[in-house]
Structure 1
Amino acid sequence: MQYKNLGRSGLKVSQLSYGAWVSFGNQLDVKEAKALLQCCRDHGVNFFDNAEVYANGRAEEIMGQAIRELGWKRSDLVVSTKIFWGGPGPNDKGLSRKHIVEGTKASLKRLDMDYIDIVKFVNFWLVGVSGNCCRPDISTPIEETVRAMNYVIDQGWAFYWGTSEWSAQQITEAWGIAERLDLMGPVVEQPEYNLLSRHKVESEYLPLYQNYGLGLTTWSPLASGVLTGKYSKGTIPPDSRFALENYKNLASRSLVDDVLKKVNGLKPIADELGVPLPQLAIAWCAANPNVSSVITGATKESQIQENMKAIDVIPLLTPAVMEKIEAVVQSKPKRPDSFR
């Protein structure tokens, strides 16, 4: 496993990491979680991602209990969680000072930890139900969020803070406020990034890497499993994510002819390299120098073992191979004029 600095910070995270979205609390309980987490550690993973909304908080409870029972040294781990959607009450959601403080303390209690390494703030985002709604918490000024997060850090409840699915404009505004007030700005953004979803990482965020040293912990490298090739025939395996009730709408939007054609076109490239398609897709994400860590998901140890082999595929992605991939997916976003 390789370890990269999280953007310009001194924090080192494993190039591949593991996230609890979907699996913990929905498909897996503590016993299964322990086996998966141990498998990740055996492969050098030190970064684990969670959120207060995952399984309504149960994912954090499972991860915390599993880590405690495994007896791991806390300082060996980098744990992140995300705040926005904490419950049904009017102040149980959003990025107000009240919810940031109370939500962070509630996450710490569920995780049974003294601190969280990274707390990220999400745009209004109904995970697994409607996808990214592409609008921020318009009821809370960003200055309130920046001040509240620095309070959380000053209390020792978190070491760093970041964002998830924020726009470049919002991140720039947050950094401007932080610099004006001599506070810590967001060191990391967590966007979706894969061969089918590239605009933010490869176009919109370009100025942020240089201006603020923004790091990325990207999610969905396999596009919710589409890039594994298991849906190529248009059928949905009963044990897959798209078979879950909450993901049927996402399945109908994702499994379209154009996308399946691209996936089928990638298979010969993977075959030529002698690697499975999922490893090719994960390695492609990790090869981007602006990506600090690629968050993977899995419900079986065998899936983790296969995903982790993507590290060995990165050196195989020569310029010629990358051109072949580009010719198939044709998803490269247009670069801003100032970065051409």
Structure 2
Amino acid sequence: MVAYRHLGSSGLKITEITYGNWLTHGSQVEADTAIECVHTALDLGITSFDTADVYANGAAEEVLGRALAGQRRESLEIFTKVYWPVGPMGANDVGLSRKHIMEGLNASLRRLGTDYVDLYQAHRYDYETPLEETMAAFADVLRSGKALYIGVSEWTADQIRSGQEMAGQMGFRLVSNQPQYSALWRVIEERVVPACSELGMGQVVWSPMAEGILSGKYLPGQPAPEGSRATDSRGGARMISRWMRPEVLSAVQALRPVAQDVGLSMPQLAIAWVLQHDFVSAAIVGASRPSQLAENVQACGVSLPQDVMEAVDAALGEVVERDPDRTQSPNPRPA
């Protein structure tokens, strides 16, 4: 079964593997399959679910809401996010203004079919809205009971520090950061992780398998497998294209004997590697079919020896992205 970890220094416990529906529900995966994946996650002991209003322009939240209907609400931890353009994408349908936060949360709750979310996160930093306005709106969200905890996603260390200071003035604290993090993408390690650890914020990381690259199914010099994300014309291929370089694919194949030596599949090794880090509260894992989840949860409870962690570093070598300046939000925000 999937273990629980505290979300940073808060009292909230979440499953260390959290089910996420970015790039799947409402777009790449049919609704019936998506609902089956959610039910499989529940059967495997996953009770934490991550989504966002922007995923498939609200359709992902709707599918997740249908899939969780009838479950005991108190036994679930539901996360969603606000910032990116949604709806008809008008001037106020984006950002972290009071108007967009309040209207965005109400719309998310309707789509999810719930009275509250456990974690509401700022999906990016908004350079066009005063931070005081954003944090005051989040404070009111908490007081209303429509969200129980507040976090951020892909904020820089300086933005996180400023946000936490302002949150304190408003009578609450930020409990989480949701960054991209994997053995290939380690840009948070130098600045963001130390800042969050100091401030008691946990990392709920997305793309622990580097959008599927670390699964090892993409071979250098070979066409992408049919039905894989790299062949998806609805957004998946565009997102994964940055990793589809021969030097990256070759380095990833060097991980295969490392995984075999510890009795893990390539996806299990990628997730287990992320979960070795004590600053990680959860790794968000998606799925296009239930069998993927059944395999991935076997990374729970795996303890990788230091020599294995070093072998991963050695195999990936120079293709690992470590530049801390790669943590950033769009400026100006999309109109």
TM-score by length of 2: 0.91
- Amino acid in structure 2 at the alignment position of 1:254: W
- Amino acid in structure 1 at the alignment position of 2:81: K
Q: Deviations over 1:116-175 (max 9, x none)?
A: 10001112xxxxxxxxxxxx4211011111110111111110000101111111110011
Structure 2: distance between partners of 1:290 and 1:279: 19
Structure 2: distance between partners of 1:42 and 1:5: 21
- Post-superposition shift, 1:199? 1.6
Please, which runs of 5 or more residues in structure 1 have no aligned partner? 124-135, 336-340
Confirm whether residue 294 of structure 1 aligns to residue 295 of structure 2: no
Q: Deviations over 1:250-297 (max 9, x none)?
A: 343211122112101101101111211110001000111000000001
Q: Is the contact made by 1:326 and 1:332 (CA closer than 8 Å) also made in structure 2?
A: no
Q: Is the contact made by 1:31 and 1:66 (CA closer than 8 Å) also made in structure 2?
A: no
Q: Is 3-12 or 80-89 further displaced after alignment?
A: 80-89
Confirm whether residue 61 of structure 1 aligns to residue 57 of structure 2: no
Partner of 1:240: 228
**Equivalent residue in structure 2 for 1:277, among 256, 263, 266:** 266
Structure 2: distance between partners of 1:78 and 1:144: 27
Partner of 1:261: 250
Change in CA separation of 1:334 and 1:112 when aligned onto 2, cut-off 3 Å: closer
Partner of 1:127: none
**Equivalent residue in structure 2 for 1:196, among 150, 169, 184:** 184
Structure 1: distance between partners of 2:145 and 2:30: 29
**Equivalent residue in structure 1 for 2:307, among 320, 324, 327:** 320
Structure 2: distance between partners of 1:261 and 1:33: 32
Partner of 2:163: 174
Give the 3-state SS of the residue equivalent to 1:23 in structure 2.
Answer: coil
Confirm whether residue 252 of structure 1 aligns to residue 241 of structure 2: yes
- Amino acid in structure 2 at the alignment position of 1:75: E
- Post-superposition shift, 1:209? 3.5
- Amino acid in structure 2 at the alignment position of 1:20: N
Q: Is the contact made by 1:146 and 1:185 (CA closer than 8 Å) also made in structure 2?
A: no
Q: Which has the higher contact order (CA 8 A, sep 6+)?
A: 2
Q: Is the contact made by 1:30 and 1:65 (CA closer than 8 Å) also made in structure 2?
A: no
| Cα RMSD (Å) | 1.6
Q: Is 207-216 or 83-92 further displaced after alignment?
A: 207-216
Confirm whether residue 186 of structure 1 aligns to residue 174 of structure 2: yes
Structure 2: distance between partners of 1:215 and 1:230: 31
Change in CA separation of 1:295 and 1:83 when aligned onto 2, cut-off 3 Å: same
- Amino acid in structure 1 at the alignment position of 2:268: Q
- Post-superposition shift, 1:332? 8.1
Partner of 1:303: 292
Partner of 2:206: 219
Partner of 1:24: 25
- Amino acid in structure 2 at the alignment position of 1:91: N
Structure 1: distance between partners of 2:230 and 2:17: 23
Confirm whether residue 140 of structure 1 aligns to residue 129 of structure 2: yes
- Amino acid in structure 1 at the alignment position of 2:23: V
Structure 2: distance between partners of 1:276 and 1:205: 30
Confirm whether residue 228 of structure 1 aligns to residue 215 of structure 2: yes
Structure 1: distance between partners of 2:118 and 2:215: 31
Give the 3-state SS of the residue equivalent to 2:208 in structure 1.
Answer: coil
Q: Is the contact made by 1:30 and 1:66 (CA closer than 8 Å) also made in structure 2?
A: no
Partner of 2:73: 74
Structure 2: distance between partners of 1:250 and 1:15: 25
* Aligned-residue identity in percent: 40
What is the number of equivalent residue pairs in this alignment? Answer: 317
Confirm whether residue 5 of structure 1 aligns to residue 2 of structure 2: no
- Amino acid in structure 1 at the alignment position of 2:205: T
- Post-superposition shift, 1:333? 4.5
Give the 3-state SS of the residue equivalent to 1:89 in structure 2.
Answer: coil
Change in CA separation of 1:152 and 1:259 when aligned onto 2, cut-off 3 Å: same
Partner of 1:208: 195
Q: Is 136-145 or 167-176 further displaced after alignment?
A: 136-145
- Amino acid in structure 1 at the alignment position of 2:228: S
Partner of 2:142: 153
4+ runs of 1 displaced by more than 4 Å? Answer: 332-335
Partner of 2:331: none
Structure 2: distance between partners of 1:30 and 1:67: 13
Q: Deviations over 1:201-235 (max 9, x none)?
A: x2112332442101111000111111111112342
Confirm whether residue 40 of structure 1 aligns to residue 29 of structure 2: no
Change in CA separation of 1:120 and 1:267 when aligned onto 2, cut-off 3 Å: same
Partner of 1:129: none
Structure 2: distance between partners of 1:334 and 1:235: 30
Structure 2: distance between partners of 1:302 and 1:72: 22
